[in-house]
Amino acid sequence: MQDEVFLTRLRERLRGVRVPERPTDLPLTPASGDGRLFERFAEELPKVGGQARRVRPGELAGVVAELAAGAGAAVVASGLGAHRDAVLEGLATAGCAAEEPTRERAATADLGVTGAALGVASTGSVLIPMGPDAPRVASLLPPLHVVVIDEDRLVPGFGELFEQMADLSLGRAQTVLVTGPSRTADIELSIVRGVHGPERMVVLVVANGTE
């Protein structure tokens, strides 16, 4: 009823107003992509303070161990697919405890490891649909966020991202596109990283096939 009153008022105000066509042919933007996906991704992410590394499946555990060196505890999302074992192996090698990503653990962990559904090459972004396989706190509370994503999940740009957005968000309560570590420029426009979210972000892109 209240909706109807509200919407009827708008309809009356717009009576007789011509509605132009919904545009279909959208132009290219700085977030539109080209062909070299990983190269572009790895070029863009450092511009916003993140890092991207391409690893072969066999190297993943070693790289995770390197990243977790000196860390006491990590929270690990379950949605890492086939890479979960390698991640856990790497953490164990580094002597870093792998914990369930609860809010309490995440608040004190040194790093959080999650997967991602999509990577956007032209901006160095990753899309993380939150859910049982990716608790929100795992990518938000620890100072270091490590993302593991298969190379074939990279797309060129925003056009491709938003085409898949509805499907990738199906059944989800929240989907977040993350581009680099948390930052602010609110004090004299000087950039400081690690405001509320992570200070560091590393994306490990697992190479396709067996090179």
Partner 1 sequence: MSEEALAGTFEERAHLQLQVPGLATAIGRAMDTILGNRALAFAGADLEAMREAGEAIRTHTVASLPAYLERFAETARANGTNVFFAETGSEAVEYVRGVLRAHEARLVVKGKSMAAEEIGLNHALEADGTEVVETDLGEYIVQVAHEPPSHIIVPAVHKTRGQIRDLFNRVHGTDLPDEPERITKFARQHLRERFLAADVGITGVNFAIAEAGSFVIVTNEGNGRMCSSLPHVHIAIMGMERIVPSYRELAVLMPLLTGSATGQRVTTYMNFVHGPRRPQDPDGPEEVHVVVLDNGRSSILEGEFRSILHCIRCGACQNVCPVYRQVGGHAYGAVYGGPIGAVLTPLLSGLERFGDLPNASSLCAACTDVCPVRIPLHDHLLELRRAVVLERAGVAERETFGLWSRAWSRAAGYRLFARLARVGQWPLARAHRIRRGPLWLSRWTRDRDLPAVAARTFRERRRRS
Q: Which of residues 130-189 bind partner 1 (CB under 8 A)?
A: 130-132, 135-137, 140, 157-159, 161-163, 165-166, 169, 171-189
Touching partner 1, residues 16-35 (CB under 8 A): 17-23, 26-32
The rounded distance, in Å, linking the Cα atoms of 106 and 135 is: 10
Kindly determine how many residues on this chain lie close enough to bind partner 1 according to the rule CB under 8 A: 73
Dihedral sign computed on CA atoms, order 98, 101, 106, 111: positive
Residue from 38, 88, 194, 207 that binds partner 1 (CB under 8 A)? 194
Q: Is 48 in the site for partner 1 (CB under 8 A)?
A: yes
Whether 83 and 148 have beta carbons less than 8 Å apart is answered as: yes
Residue 14 contacts by C-beta under 8 Å, 6 or more apart in sequence? Answer: none
Residue placing its CB nearer to partner 1 in the complex, 63 or 106: 106
What's the rounded Cα separation, in Å, for the pair 186 and 208? 41
Helix (H) or strand (E) holding 56: none
In this complex, which beta carbon is closest to partner 1, that of residue 68 or of residue 178? 178
Identity of the residue, 164 or 208, whose beta carbon is nearer to partner 1 in the bound complex: 164
What residues numbered 105-124 form the site for partner 1, per CB under 8 A? 107, 123
The rounded distance, in Å, linking the Cα atoms of 139 and 157 is 22
Which of the ranges 55-63, 65-73, 80-88, 195-203 carries the binding residues for partner 1, by CB under 8 A?
195-203
CB atoms within 10 A of CB 104: 12
**Nearest approach, Cβ of residue 87 and partner 1 (Å):** 18
Q: How far is the CB of 211 from partner 1 (least distance, A)?
A: 30
